[in-house]
Chains A and B, each alone.
Chain A
Amino acid sequence: MPNPTNGLRKRVFNAVRAISEIFKARGSEYIELELRELENIFALIVMGSFIGLPSPPTTVSLRLLPHMGRELLIMSSVSRRLDDMLGEMAGLFDIT
């Protein structure tokens, strides 16, 4: 005869795992956002002279530029979404 406790244990375990996956996904979303913002800030600092910000010596900017493909893509994508940062934050925190 099947042990009802085993079935219950399995359901509890699956539920805990599902919740853990949800938290993990939410946690990684926050880290992704932080990462994206840090990379955006890094690109802004290095290329700051282009938009009137105090920037590092030109040598530093130019020597880093060849390695900053990802950061440039992030910077341009963030700047495109700047019009609706509130909407983006609302989406991230599930505010409706």
Chain B
Amino acid sequence: MSTRKLEKPSFPIYFFMGKGGVGKTTSSAAFALYLAKLGKKVLIVSLDPAHNLGDVLGIKLGEKHAQVAENLWASEIDFDKMVRDYMRSLADKVKDMYGYLKIFNLEGYVDTLRYSPGVEEHATLEKIKEIITLNQRKWSYEVVVFDTPPTGLTVRIMALPTITLVWLDKLMELRLAILGRRKMLERFTGERPKVVMGGKEVEVATEPEEDPVYRELKAMREEVMWLKGILTDPAVTSVVMVVNPEVLPVLEAERACAFLRRVGVPVKHVIVNKVLRLTSVPEELKEKVREEEEALKLIEEKFQGLARHEIPYLPWEPRGADKLMRVAEYLRGMFGGLEGK
């Protein structure tokens, strides 16, 4: 998908991240619903392979955007299909070009690549890119909210543009060295180096503008820079970290935040979900409450500078629009700046 002529999006993008089971889907759904009630046209997309956005909203969801409330549309991405489609689009191009090079068994190589490490991350990032691009060109939602896979996968997805840029810069440097040598040979011998491909002798490029490899590297760099620009722009992207008041999720979230800060992705909010606020503590729960206090102190220490929002442990299951709106009341602090825009 070409992104070269696109500006930065004019709509905010929210990524709800956290360990599995902390309440990302509930928080993101409540947030999206409240924004829709404020009059914003909102799209919420679940990228989690273990979807439960439809369960939380009380409506069956698929890839197609379904209107779940006034101003609110939702979809669940079919993760396996997304990865398959992504690999197929790349593989078809390779097989077309190399039909005559079956001696390299490239077909087998390309089909095996779908199981390579990193394919899921790439496919998910491509899907995020596609949604942002389509929203700019076609859909016009005012806010896009992503309910993401568990932290480990999402952090790798967010880091991909930075890692990819490092590789692309090195490959472009090496490619220029190759083109420089080819140019030297052309000057020495008076003709361009050639290669026999598909039974035909073909001259190879000596200038970057003529070299398909360099052009592809340059195009990829522009796309990655565009996406990195979006993910690292605090005016566009906000990461909301969801944790429970337990030490392990807090430490995992803290490491994720530190990593995201290193790659320039702005983390702005932390939601502490399922906080036990009891008027009188039964004996059986005293230890639990004490551990929770310890975790809350850790949150205050580790997430300084982030806006903190607390959702208590609710005596009812937060499913369906009405109950999610009650959850959203605890997130009012997140809507400053979005209300009335």
Contacts and interface: CB of A to CB of B under 8 A. Distances in A.
A66 interface: yes
Interface of B: 90-91, 93-94, 96-98, 101, 104, 106, 109-110, 113, 116, 118-119, 122, 126, 160, 163-164, 167-168, 170-171, 174-175, 177-178, 181-182, 184-185, 188-189, 193, 195, 197, 204, 212-213, 216-217, 220
A76 B145 CA distance: 48
Contacts of A53: none
Given A35-B178, A62-B90, A57 B213 contact: no
Given A60-B168, A60-B220, A38 B185 contact: no
A88 interface: no
B188 A27 contact: yes
Contacts of A57: 118, 122, 160, 163-164, 167
Most chain A CB within a 10 A radius of its CB, from B110, B171, B178: B178
A58 B106 CA distance: 15
A39 B178 CA distance: 7
Nearest to A32: B185
A58 B90 CA distance: 10
B323 to A, nearest CB: 41
At the interface, is chain B mostly helix, strand, loop or mixed? helix
A90 interface: no
A37 to B, nearest CB: 10
B220 A63 contact: yes
B90 A31 contact: no
B116 A28 contact: no
Contacts of A67: 97, 212-213, 216
Nearest to A47: B109
A68 interface: yes
Contacts of B101: 69, 72
A66 B94 CA distance: 5
Interface string A62-86: 1111111111110010000000000
A56 interface: yes
Contact of B113 (A31, A58, A60, A70): A58
A32 to B, nearest CB: 6
Nearest to B196: A73
Contact of B184 (A31, A45, A70, A71): A31
B181 A70 contact: no
Contacts of B217: 64
8 contacts: A35-B182, A38-B178, A49-B116, A58-B118, A59-B164, A63-B220, A66-B93, A67-B216
B197 A70 contact: yes
B93 to A, nearest CB: 5
A31 B90 CA distance: 34
Contacts of A62: 90-91, 93-94, 110, 113
A28 B189 contact: yes
Q: Would you list the 10 A-B pairs with minimal beta carbon distance, nearest first?
A: A66-B97, A56-B167, A67-B212, A35-B181, A70-B195, A62-B90, A28-B188, A67-B213, A69-B197, A38-B178
A93 B118 CA distance: 44
A58 B125 CA distance: 13
Nearest to A74: B195
Given A38-B177, A60-B168, A63-B93, 16 more contacts: A24-B188, A42-B174, A58-B118, A58-B119, A60-B167, A62-B94, A65-B94, A65-B97, A65-B98, A65-B106, A66-B93, A66-B94, A67-B212, A69-B98, A70-B204, A73-B197
Given A38-B181, A42-B178, A60-B171, A73 B213 contact: no
A31 B220 CA distance: 29
A34 B183 CA distance: 13
A50 to B, nearest CB: 7
A73 B220 CA distance: 24
A28 B184 CA distance: 8
